[in-house]
Amino acid sequence: MKIKPFLSFIALSVIIIPCWHEVPAQTERTLQQKDMRGEATQVPYLRQDEYQGISLTNESMPQKAAGTSAGVQPTFKNLLSVSSLEEVTRLLGEPQSIERNDLDETSFTALLRYDGLWMDYIKAGSENVRLRKLKITSPKWSINVNGNVFRPGMKSHQLSQAVQHSIREIGSPPADSPDVDASAILRVANPAKNGKTKGLKKNTRFTFQIDKDMGEIKGIVFLRLI
């Protein structure tokens, strides 16, 4: 089944102009901002409910590890903040490895490695264990955003025209992805107040890593600075 276009994004600055636009056909929301050249541009974003509702799927995930109900997949709401690492493994199954670094008696970082996915968690003091970075490198794993499925291996032309126009070349490839020479970014909105979105989160984003020569998405990265 062909993946329908969904996203478009350019994220060059955080100078906000109070002008909002929605593309009805793709439920695609954009916020007008000025880029580094002072030119107005449309920056796509996800509302908080859309962000929290993103599901993470592994095509080979046993049903008993994919949630408590048939057909239910873990969502970002389940994964962003957990009481313990055991809650993550209950949702996604046992990882290939866990690299834990204890910072003190109540704080630690932990890197959970699955086949084609890794997740970086941090716990500070009495706070919950929070997800700060996730990377998908295999088509075995995918994210579902408003019914649109994205995974490594999909062609960049399967994205909307606006997404393709927003792709920017990067200076040097990531150490673990030498074929990546371009990327595009999807932002996340701040929680709405009185039914209105109040700007975009500065430190939360999704990055699509792209091999322009192959026209292919090589990786999907979620980053939240904590």
Distance CA 189, CA 200 (A): 4
What SS3 state is found at 221? Answer: strand
List, for residues 184-222, the tens digit of each pLDDT value.
888 899 988 887 877 889 889 999 999 999 999 999 999
List, for residues 74-103, the tens digit of each pLDDT value.
999 999 999 999 999 999 999 999 999 999
Number of domains in the chain: 1
Averaged confidence pLDDT in the chain: 82
Domain assignment of residue 85, yes or no: yes
Domain assignment of residue 205, yes or no: no
Identify the bridge partners of residue 20 per DSSP, sorted by sequence position. Answer: 31
For 106-125, b/e burial (b = at least 16 CB within 10 A) is eebbbebebebbbbbbbbee
Domain assignment of residue 171, yes or no: no
Is 160 a residue whose pLDDT tops 80? no
Q: What is the pTM of this model?
A: 0.81
* Domain of 119, in residue numbers: 55-136
Residue appearing with tokens 């906000």: 16
Domain assignment of residue 80, yes or no: yes
